[in-house]
Structures are given as structure tokens and as C-alpha cells.
Structure 1
Amino acid sequence: MKTNNPYRTSVAIVGAGPNGVAMANLLGLYGVNAVIIEKAPQIVEFPRAVGIDDEALRLFQTAGLADELSRDIIQNVPLRMFKANGECFADIRPTMREFGWWRRNIFMQQLAEKTLREGLARYPHVALRTSEEVVGLEQDAGGVTLQVRRADGQQYTLEADYVVAADGGRSPMREILGIKLAGATHPIKWVVVDVKNADLEQPCTALNCDPRRPNVCIYLPFNYRRWEFLVFPHEDEEEIARPESIRRLIAPYISNVDQIDIVRARTYTHHSRVAERFVVGRVALIGDAAHLTPPWIGQGLNAGLRDVGNLAWKLAGIVKGTLQASVLQTYESERRDHAKAMIDLADTFGAMLMPTNRFVAFLRDRFFSLVRFAPGLRDYVLQMRFKPMPSYTGGVVVAGHSRSIGRMIVQPDVETADGVRCKLDDVLGPWFSIVGWRCDPQACMSAEDRAYWGALGVKFVQVNRSRSGACRAQRVASAHGSECVEDVDNVMADWFERNPGPLVLVRPDRYVAAQTDAAGAKNMTAAFHAFAPQQQEDVHVC
């Protein structure tokens, strides 16, 4: 029986997986009313996504959840590639922490989802509704109306200014909107098995590039381990997922195969697909609803979290009236091409892992063996410099000559005026910031421009060289109230040397929106009016 209980929210999020709940946490932080609709009654209690990178942890740092999530994460896990004889021919172990976190980390999705949902308790203006399903959608210039069905079959109407579809690879929301997925479905299947208590001392992600049966073995937290085995075309996918078959596959790698606990085993088909559109009217797709990637570089969830980081602050600014409504369209223009680039990289890695032809496998092994004799190529591979980073030439950026514009700014440790060492983002805050290198950004602006940025809620930060003041008690201070910190490890000094221009406008997702000098500050302010109109009064987004 249909009911007419009216509900209203600023943003409705469909899907309470890690992307949807991460979005809700950020919207909660920004003071935006949000409702999450989730069909499942509870979290699925077994591992799914297992890789989380530095960009994702930086996002969760902004959300105030990185430290709690880290309690269930194994950080700085190497990726090793092995020949059929067990010899390691590539040890990919990035040492860089340019964004404040290690590049390769291993977690278990169900534990992260629990932490993310607990984080929602901080925000009374965010609601999670489980055992509910969106069955209809209509939108116009004024908003979106969702028809939601409860577990008992009753329906109600939920009105929202904007909707985020985070409802997974099969996305009913994408189907309702009529958006097609472009790309390919791979013909080769893989059986994925999670086990406990495997007797194997191998604390890494191992790509066992054995042409007899390529497979992946992943070291997980709390004595879990995952294997992914290629399924040959002549094999029955149900038969190979049976416990006795799984034990035969794992037996060559461990000594206690009869004692392991098989948590789950399931056969998967991999997809390399991107939605033709990420935004339709007032509805935006994120995560697997927008793009599907093979698992070989652990970027499926991470790509979705990049969507979250790009979209959350834009929705918050639009809802609060600080940003133009047209900014929503930049989500698609900024994210779609990079999502496709990550899928292409995953396909390349899969091609390296999957050869069942021994000669092709031999050529691959020889290539990686020779890489170590070419330092530039070696670092490119082993330090994961092949991972494409987003670089925005359009969207919410102000054109300029600096190469940093449209790229993520580094995150070193800095030292505050009272001598506390912390990560840079903890000083910048969760919203826009303007950073001055060895200068007060406010001192470079007119009173009118300072008022414009202040009304937008921008944080002003001056970064000085380490030990720049007269003494501990007399550090460099701002006459305008900008927060002053010191570059204790000289990381910012190196960054500004590579990217000249002492004034940097940093977006909430830590991408550089503009870089200029004192003479260009007024033009930067004028150009940003295209994205954020002049406010009549201060707007507190967070």
C-alpha cells in the first residue's frame, strides 16, 4: 500500500557502501542535510575491497576518520611479482609519502564500513535508512523526487535538492536515468577466495605470474588472506568454487591447507567500463555506478573515493549558496577521463599477470629483470610513478602558468606556532584555503578581496621556513590573523621551487585551483568569481 509521507533533504545518497557513507560523512562535516538510502539491512560481513591508497586516506583525514580507520589497516604493503619458479622479479615498494600517507595499504571493507557508519553519529543532520530501496525518480529544475520502498512494501516520497547514486556496479539508479556503460567485459573469469589461518609468511600482495595458473595472494589484516585464481574456459565456475577445489588450488602455497577456514569463494567476471555520463540534471553517479575496473592495481574503491572527494565539497558549496550551480558539471569533466585512465592501467597490469603462454611470460619476466639496470625506468615501475594522477586543465581552476594548477598539492608535516608537529591538511582545514609561501596571503590583498575570501570561509595560512623567527617564543606572526606554520622538513620549500608563485589557492579536495604572486592576487580573486559569487554575508560551510 502506497503512503504519502513527505520527506525533504538537501542531498539524498542512494547506497551505503564505503563511497556513499564517505560522501555522507563529508556532507555532514560541511553542515549539509543528507539522507542515505540502503537496500541491505546490514553490512556484508566478509572482505570485498582490500586496497586503500594515500589519496583515499587523505580524504578520510579531512573527514576526521583516518586515524580510526588506520587501526584496521596494514600500511605500506609491497606488491611483489613472482615467476613460476617462485623467484621474485619485481618488488614494487613505493617509499614516497608526498600526500602524507603510504601509497599502498591493505584493509577489509566490512571493517571500514563499520567505522564510517559510526562516524555518522557525529552529525544529527545526516540519516542512514537501511532496508529501503529507491524505485522511482523524477527531477526538474527545482529538485529531485525519489520514490522509496520500505522492507514492508510501503512507499514514501523523498524530495532532495540533489541526489548521489552510489548503488554499485549494477546501479538501478543508472538504469533509471538511462545511462549506458561504455567498455568491455573480460571473457576470462577468476575465482576469489578469502580464508583465515593460512600458514604463510608472505606479508605482501603477491602476483604469482605462473602461466600454468596465474593467481594473486593478498596479505590481509587479522590473519585473513585472499587468493584470486584464473579460471580456464574449459572449467566449471561452480565446481572450481567448491571447498575441495579451493583447497587443491591453495595447497601448493601453504602447509596447513586442511586447517584453513574458507570464509567465502566466488567466481567473478571483470569489467572495464565507464558510464557515458556522470551527471544527469541534479543526479551524480559515483564509484562503481560510474565506472567498473578490474582489481589488479587495487583502484576500484580508490577511484570511487576520488569521486567522493571531488563531488562532496561542490555539492556542499552549491547547497549553501557559496558556489554556482554550474560547478556540478565540473565533476564529470574532472573525473571521467581519469577514471578511464585508471581502468586502462588496471587492464595493462592484468595483461602482465594473465599470460598462459610460456614464451610471453618469459618475455615479461625478462623485461622486469632488466628494469633494475635502468635507474629511471626502475624507479618509474618500483615507486609506482606509472600511476596516473589527476591533472585538471578545466573545471574549478583558474588558468595560469604554474604546472601545479589542477594537481594535488603535497602534504608534509608542519609545525604550528605552539610547537606542535602535524600534517598540513590539519592546518588548512576541510574547506578552501589560501597558502602563502614565506608571505602573509592577506597582506597581498586589498581589503575588498580579503572580505570576499573571508565571506567564502577561506582559511589563510602562511608557511615559513623552519626556525624563521627570532627564537621559539618569537616565531613569525601575521598582522592579519593568518595562521603561521613552519616547513619543518623543507618539503614545501622544494615544492615552491618546482612551482614558482608564493600564493596558492587550495580546494577542499587538496587540488590547486590557482597559483600566482602578489601582483596577480587581484586577478585570481576576480577570476574565481566565475565559480563563487560575491557573498552578502559570511557563509559558514563547515
Structure 2
Amino acid sequence: MTAIRNVPVLVVGAGPVGVSIANLLGQYGVPTLVIDRSPAVLDFPRAVGLDDEALRTFQAAGLADEMLRDMIQNVPMRMYTARKQCFAEILPSTQEFGWFRRNLFSQPLGEETLRKGLARYPHVALQLGCELVALAQDDQGVDATLRHTDGREERVRCEYLVASDGGRSTVREGLLKLPFEGTTHPHKWVVIECDQDPLDAPYTALHCEPRRPYVCLRLPYGLRRWEFMLFPGEDGEQMLQPEKVHELLRNHVSQPERLNVIRARVYTHNSRVAQSFVNGRVCLAGDAAHITPPWIGQGLNAGMRDAFNLAWKLAWIVKGRMRPELLDSYHEERHAHAQAMIDLADLFGSVLSQRNRFVAWMRDRFFLSIRHLPKVRDYVLQMKFKPMPRFSKGIVLNSGNATQDELVGRMFIQPRVETSSGETRRLDDVIGSRLALLSWRCDPLADAPPELLNQLQRLDCVRLVAVRARSGSEEVARCRSHVKDVEQIQDVENQLHFWFQGRAVDWVLLRPDRFVAAAGSAGSAVDQMAMFCQTVLPSLGTRSVHEAPAALAQGAEALSV
């Protein structure tokens, strides 16, 4: 009888979302198995844009610097009228989350970096050429049947299964048969990439030309991409023939036949969202959960939000730090925002890919007339039209104070701070892979009962007290906690000062994905933290993983929690 391999988390699909989840679980110390039916990274022209939230996710996984080595940071996006007039430029200057908001990369390169990151963890294994063919779940876990390229089958028993296996997800579509609601857009698009970039255009350009809308952008290492709308009657496969590719490019480059086209593929745009992101012990992430048109570059970024939101919850549940039923909060927190991003992309697409010449002319006149209005220009330039995630339900604590609750469920800023050792670091790097109670110029739990402090320890919650930079010794002493485990940090960029100054709170509780779970005054901290712990923590009898054994990476038959 074939032995059953046991592992806390099985990730199906080793694309960027699935491998990011596995890297995060590796950071959190959770043994994980990742499988993918493809033996190698797919060399297709795929996602190109990563925003500041995605980079913050890579930072949490310890891979931001490695990913940046193959990126172009802080890239503008321009929108052009039918007569090639620029009517809008998007270049956000803010780095409130610690990174630039518009960055370009080549997905095949990025995927290679993410997969190499898994090698850091002896408790995380990547199996390629391996597909999921069946699953059955019960109250305690999921039984998965895997098939290898040689036809051999094996059974894996996991506590949780993550389906990040793409828009045609075997898990969602074939095994769970979950509804995937939305629309498939009528126009296909041909995507063409060449090397030795023939254009001096270091930006992303959306050309709203009714005769054939197209996108043109510069990628790392001399790559140039074009995306052209196809019209009814144009066969997708025919349009990939060299003569047709040259025909599409003829109006944009001289001698297109001399270009070295390295990738070309036809895509259909979809706007779809799974009815539920959580089904028992199975979670959907990335394109398996939602597909968006590429107009605002948020397809992969939405998947990275899934990864950050889901990974820490799985880790805390598996480690016995959080009630298992709180996994449903992943759907509560991610579903509505994923839909909002799709709706925005659909709106952009309908406006920018307009083929009716009169309607396009009216659109161009409108945008050209408003581009000099300061408030409108700032709204566009700083990407303020992008809906930011905000959770009113899920793993958040609302106190009933409207001013304070407005802060809850939003991503917190990430300034650079100075540690007690004199080192200047990004805030997330100081916190590490933990929850954090961050207070401003006070220790709100200085007189907290030992039981509460023990509960926060069970949650793996670090306590940080922030003070003004270069404060006098008297203030430093006043803000220093008598508890040795509380670290004091200096607000060297003055960003924490500005944040706390206008919000009438003394502390925030930050989740591992850097969203504010609770906020309040110093006097309310003990009661609110006790309520949060009571809501989140399971009973003490829950099993947990304290150390991540190396056996999984070495091919052991079983890893049990």
C-alpha cells in the first residue's frame, strides 16, 4: 500500500501567486508542498506591472531586493488621443507603503526568482510535472491525489489546499465546480514582444486610436511590448504569422521585418470572479479566484494581495494561533475588492478602446479640457482613482468609535525608522513576520495583566514604541517601557508623527500583512487587545507547528502537524 504523505499546506499551481504564498509560508515556518503540471516556467508574454503593495508582499517574503534586480521602477503611464496627444500621465510620487507604485518586470524572470526563493526553506518543496487529479475534504483536512509525468500516482493528506492554478483552474472548475461569474470580452488581443528595443519611449503608452487601439511599453533588458486589439473576422492564429505581425507593427516602427520577435500570443480578456474564495479547507487565489482585463495593470497585483492576505492566516491557523473558522475572512476581505478592481478595469477599457470615431473624439475633447485642472490632474497623476482595500469585516476589531474605526482595515504606512542599535530600516523589516502593537510615545500596555501579555505572546505579537527622532533623554526615558521585550524605534522620517498627529489614536495593531486590525487611545488598549485575543485565539488545546522540519524537502513520506 502506498504511503500517504502528510503536509500542512498543499499549493496547486506554481505561478507567481502560488509560489509567493509558498515563500510566505516558508517565512512563517509552515511545511508546504507546491506542485505544478508544467515542468518549467511558461515563456509567454504575461503580466508586466507590479505595484507598491506587491513589492511589500515580496518584502515580507524576503525577496524584494531580488525581484527589483530585474525591474524598472517608477515608470510613468501615458494615455494618448486618436491624434497622438497625451491627455493624461500617471506617475505617483508617493511611497507611503515603502515602494514606488508603478514598476515593470518580465513575468518569466520574476517567476524564476520566486522559485529560487523556495530553496531557502528545507520545509518547502516544489514538485514540477505533477498535477492534481482528485480531492476530497472532510472536517480535518483534504485528501489529494497527484499524478506525475511518468503516470505514477500518490496521495497527499493536507490540512489546507490552495488552488492557484490559473483562470482555467482544475480545482475550481473541474473538481469543486464553483461558479465563475462575469463576462468574456468579444475582442481578442495579440501581444508581441521583441528584443533590442527600437523605440526611445521609457513609459507605458495607451493609444486610444479607433482604427486599432493598442498598448506599447518598455520592459527590462531591452524588451519592447505591443498589444493590439483584433477585430471581428481576424483569426488569432493567423495574426501571429510573421507577415501579419509585421503588418501590425508597420505604422509604429521602421522596417518591422528586422525586429527579433521573441514572444507572440493571442489573449482573450475576461472579467470574472469566483462566487467564493473559500470552500471548506480549499482556498482559491490569483486567476483561479478572479480574472481582470489588463487596462490598469492589476491582474497579478490582485493575486499578490490574495497571497499576502491568505498566507499569514493559514500559518496562524496551522500553528494554533488563530481559530480555524476565521479562514472565511479571506473571502470577506478579498472578494469585494477584487470585484472593484475588475469594475475599474472594465471602465478603463470601455473608455480607452472606443472604436466609434465620434464618441472617441468627444472623449478626447473631454480629457484634454480637464487635464489642466489641478485637482483632476492630481487625482490622475497620483492614481487616486485606484480603490484601496479597506476591510470593515474579517480579522479586524471595530471599537464603536467612528474616527478610530475609519483607520481599521486599511494598510498602514511604511516609513524608515531607526532601531535601538542605531540602524535605519523599513518598518516592516523591524516588525518581521509577526503581528505588531505599534504605539506613539507611550506604552499602552505598561500595566496590562500578565494573562493578556501571555495571549499576545501566543499571537506572536511584538510591541514597538515609536518616539520622535533625536528626542531628548527625558522623553526617551519617559517612553521607555519597563518590559524588556518592548522595542523603542525613532521616527527618523517624521512620517509616524504626521500619521498619528491627525488621527487621534495612540496605538495601532498591525497584522502580518500590514493592515490595521485595531486602533485606539492608550486608555482603551487593554480592553481592546483583550477583546481581539478573545476573538482570534483558539483554545489552548489546539495543535500547532512550532518548528518546520526539513523532511519534506528531502522527500520524506510524512509530515504531520
**TM-score, structure 1 normalization:** 0.96
Deviations for 1:280-330, whole angstroms, at most 9, x for unmatched residues?
Answer: 110000000000100111111110110011110110011111100011000
Structure-2 change in CA distance of 1:57 and 1:313 (3 Å): same
Contact in 1 for aligned 2:30/2:545 (Cα 8 Å): no
How does 1:196-345 map onto structure 2 within 5 Å? Answer: 196-345=195-344
Q: Secondary structure at the residue paired with 2:4?
A: strand
Which stretch shows the higher mean deviation, 59-68 or 449-458? Answer: 449-458
Q: Secondary structure at the residue paired with 1:392?
A: coil
User: Is the aligned partner of 1:178 residue 2:177?
Assistant: yes
Pairwise CA RMSD: 2.0
Q: Secondary structure at the residue paired with 2:215?
A: strand
Q: Secondary structure at the residue paired with 2:192?
A: strand
Taking the aligned partners of 2:320 and 2:389, their CA distance within structure 1 comes to 27
Deviations for 1:331-378, whole angstroms, at most 9, x for unmatched residues?
Answer: 001100000000001111111221111221122222222223322222
Taking the aligned partners of 1:478 and 1:256, their CA distance within structure 2 comes to 70
Taking the aligned partners of 2:420 and 2:93, their CA distance within structure 1 comes to 29
Which stretch shows the higher mean deviation, 195-204 or 11-20? Answer: 195-204
How does 1:439-454 map onto structure 2 within 5 Å? Answer: 439-443=442-446, 445-454=448-457
Taking the aligned partners of 2:352 and 2:116, their CA distance within structure 1 comes to 38
Q: Which residue pairs with 1:503 in the alignment?
A: 507
Which stretch shows the higher mean deviation, 145-154 or 474-483? Answer: 474-483
Taking the aligned partners of 1:271 and 1:45, their CA distance within structure 2 comes to 21
Taking the aligned partners of 1:541 and 1:437, their CA distance within structure 2 comes to 33
Q: Which residue pairs with 2:366 in the alignment?
A: 367
Which stretch shows the higher mean deviation, 386-395 or 356-365? Answer: 356-365
User: What amino acid does structure 2 have at the position aligned with 1:83?
Assistant: T
Taking the aligned partners of 1:459 and 1:388, their CA distance within structure 2 comes to 30
User: What amino acid does structure 2 have at the position aligned with 1:168?
Assistant: G
Contact in 2 for aligned 1:293/1:299 (Cα 8 Å): yes
> Which of 12, 19, 23 is the equivalent residue of 2:17?
19
Structure-2 change in CA distance of 1:367 and 1:422 (3 Å): farther
Taking the aligned partners of 1:412 and 1:369, their CA distance within structure 2 comes to 36
User: What amino acid does structure 2 have at the position aligned with 1:208?
Assistant: H
Contact in 1 for aligned 2:22/2:32 (Cα 8 Å): yes
Q: Secondary structure at the residue paired with 1:523?
A: helix
Taking the aligned partners of 1:440 and 1:282, their CA distance within structure 2 comes to 39
Which stretch shows the higher mean deviation, 328-337 or 521-530? Answer: 521-530
Taking the aligned partners of 2:478 and 2:53, their CA distance within structure 1 comes to 32
> Which of 408, 412, 415 is the equivalent residue of 2:418?
415
CA deviation after TM superposition for structure 1 residue 238, in Å: 2.0
Q: Secondary structure at the residue paired with 2:272?
A: strand
Contact in 2 for aligned 1:412/1:489 (Cα 8 Å): yes
Structure-2 change in CA distance of 1:370 and 1:446 (3 Å): farther
**Which gives a bigger RCO, structure 1 or 2 (Cα 8 Å, sep 6+)?**
2
CA deviation after TM superposition for structure 1 residue 265, in Å: 1.5
> Which of 116, 128, 153 is the equivalent residue of 1:155?
153
Q: Secondary structure at the residue paired with 1:36?
A: strand
Structure-2 change in CA distance of 1:208 and 1:184 (3 Å): same
Q: Which residue pairs with 2:555 in the alignment?
A: none
Contact in 2 for aligned 1:445/1:518 (Cα 8 Å): no
Which stretch shows the higher mean deviation, 238-247 or 280-289? Answer: 238-247
Taking the aligned partners of 2:57 and 2:447, their CA distance within structure 1 comes to 30
Structure-2 change in CA distance of 1:169 and 1:5 (3 Å): same
CA deviation after TM superposition for structure 1 residue 213, in Å: 0.7
Contact in 2 for aligned 1:82/1:88 (Cα 8 Å): yes
Runs of at least 5 residues in structure 2 that lack an aligned partner in the other structure: 549-561
Contact in 2 for aligned 1:442/1:460 (Cα 8 Å): no
Taking the aligned partners of 1:253 and 1:441, their CA distance within structure 2 comes to 62
**TM-score, structure 2 normalization:** 0.93
Q: Which residue pairs with 2:69 in the alignment?
A: 71
CA deviation after TM superposition for structure 1 residue 473, in Å: 11
CA deviation after TM superposition for structure 1 residue 218, in Å: 1.5
Taking the aligned partners of 1:19 and 1:32, their CA distance within structure 2 comes to 17
Taking the aligned partners of 2:121 and 2:545, their CA distance within structure 1 comes to 19
CA deviation after TM superposition for structure 1 residue 539, in Å: 8.3
Q: Which residue pairs with 1:165 in the alignment?
A: 163
Taking the aligned partners of 1:72 and 1:438, their CA distance within structure 2 comes to 40
Aligned residues: 540
Which stretch shows the higher mean deviation, 253-262 or 71-80? Answer: 253-262
